[in-house]
Structures are given as C-alpha cells and as structure tokens.
Structure 1
Amino acid sequence: MFLSSGLESLGQLLVAILMFVVVVALCYFTTHFIAGYQKKRLSVGNFAVVDTMKIANNKFLAIVKAGKDNYYLIGVGKDEITFIDKLDKDDISFKSDSGSGIPGKNPDFDRFKQMFMKYAGRGKDKTDD
C-alpha cells in the first residue's frame, strides 16, 4: 500500500547523504571562521603566546612575548598564573616551519598527506626515484 519503490528509496538515501555532507561542510567552515577570528583577535596588541607545553592536567608552561623583545616563562594552572623567569631572545629556539596563519596550510598535515599518498600508491616520494 504505502511502500515506496526501490528508486524512491534510493532517492531518499541520496538526499539524506547530501544533507549530511552539507551539514558537515557547514560545521567545518564555521569552525575555521571562528578559529581565524579568534586568532586575529588574540594576536592584536602587545602580547603573544610564543609556545606552550602541557605538563599535567590543567597545567602547562607558556612562553609569552610582551612588547618588542621581552619574553617570559610562566606557569598556568586552573586557577593561577605564576611568573617563573624572564628569558632572553637568544635562549629561545623558534620553529622555522610553524604555521603561517593561512588556514589549510598546516605543515604537519602536508607531511602526513605526503606519507599517505606514498603508501596509498597514488604518489611517489622524491627519494623513491
């Protein structure tokens, strides 16, 4: 009586898959938009977080740049921030291949993609020749 034909069921499945893909794409682009907005908002001014390292749950060390050439090592916990030491610029090693701030240009992802393409058989590594 109320049964759909096979073609109608296939059409409903394709529409559901398409709607799922659209929702996932909207989530992806919304997340990147918000991340870019937050990054711009946090990078304006005289303060910048140069590097962080998690040492325990809810506790990490951070190197903070304040002004032009002042670097500070601070400890950040759940409810407190502790000054540890002032650092010289010469004592800090900066990452030369860190992200350029351009969305989609993550060097770790590019390296992972190259490895995946190599092992998936779709690409050749330059050292394979």
Structure 2
Amino acid sequence: MDLKDYLQFITVIILFFVILWAAYFATKFLGNLQMNKSNGSNLKIIEVIPVGPQKTLQLIRIGSEYMVIGVSKDHITFIQSVEESKLTFSEDHKVPFSAYMKKFASKHHDSNNKIGEDIDESKQ
C-alpha cells in the first residue's frame, strides 16, 4: 500500500464520521421541531388503554371538554363525552433515573436491597 491508498482510507473514514454527525444532528433537530409543534395547550391525550392489536381507547382533553375516542389503524371513532367531575386523576409518581442508578450501585455493595423492592427517593 502506498500513500495514496492511506489517504483514500482516511478520507473514507472522515466522510463516514461526517455523515454520522450530520444524521445525528438532523434527527435531533427534526425531533425537537416536531416536539415544539405538539406542545399545544388545547389538545392533550390524558390516558390510553390498548384493547387489541393496533386498537386503543383514548381519553382526550380538548379545551375544557373530555372525550373518549376509539383509535384503530384506519379509523378514529367518537365514543362519548365525559364530565370532568366523573374522572379520577392519579398523581404521577415518577422516579428519577438517579434513584435507579443509586439502587443499582448500592446493590453491589449492600445486600439489603431485594429484587423487586420499590425504588423511592424519599426513602433514601
């Protein structure tokens, strides 16, 4: 192999990383653009329950009204309106990722952690 072959190889490697970099940032940009478009305050999906393959019941809020719709691959069907007073909203209990990491790290150092034990940052 001579110098020309090495330069061609290095050029191909550089082009590969440039294409990877461009694909990453294009995907990130398009994802953020789509996310910003969907941050409306008048329409929100409250709850989704799968009822079959590619079929769901969805509780949605449009303005101040709540509706149940059926969504399938090809159709959206209005089922009924629901009064807000008849709904019960559960409080979101989201466990931060750092709590999972702390539990994982302490599992190797502490034998008190049992598999399946609830992770709750307030206990730590």
The alpha carbon displacement at 1:54 in A equals 4.7
Aligned length: 105
Q: Which residue of 1 aligns with 2:106?
A: 126
The alpha carbon displacement at 1:46 in A equals 0.6
Distance 1:126 1:97, change over 3 A: same
The alpha carbon displacement at 1:91 in A equals 2.6
Q: Which residue of 2 aligns with 1:120?
A: none
Distance 1:29 1:55, change over 3 A: farther
> Counterparts of 1:25 and 1:44 in 2: how far apart (Å)?
31
Q: Which residue of 2 aligns with 1:102?
A: none
The alpha carbon displacement at 1:11 in A equals 2.9
The alpha carbon displacement at 1:76 in A equals 1.0
Greater shift after overlay, 27-36 or 84-93? 84-93
Distance 1:67 1:30, change over 3 A: same
| Other structure's SS at 2:38 match | helix
Determine if the alignment matches structure 1 residue 62 to structure 2 residue 42: no
Q: Which residue of 2 aligns with 1:37?
A: 33
Report the TM-score when normalising by structure 1.
0.56
Of the candidates 65, 73, 77, which is equivalent to residue 68 of structure 2?
73
> Counterparts of 2:11 and 2:49 in 1: how far apart (Å)?
45
Give the number of the structure whose alpha-carbon radius of gyration is greater: 2
Instruction: Tell me the C-alpha RMSD between the 2 structures.
Output: 3.5
Report the TM-score when normalising by structure 2.
0.58
Distance 1:14 1:46, change over 3 A: same
Greater shift after overlay, 71-80 or 34-43? 71-80
Contact 1:73-1:87 within 8 A present in 2 as well: no
Q: Note the alpha carbon deviations across 1:19-56, whole angstroms, 9 max, x for none.
A: 12221221222122222212221222410223445544
| Other structure's SS at 2:12 match | helix
The alpha carbon displacement at 1:10 in A equals 3.0
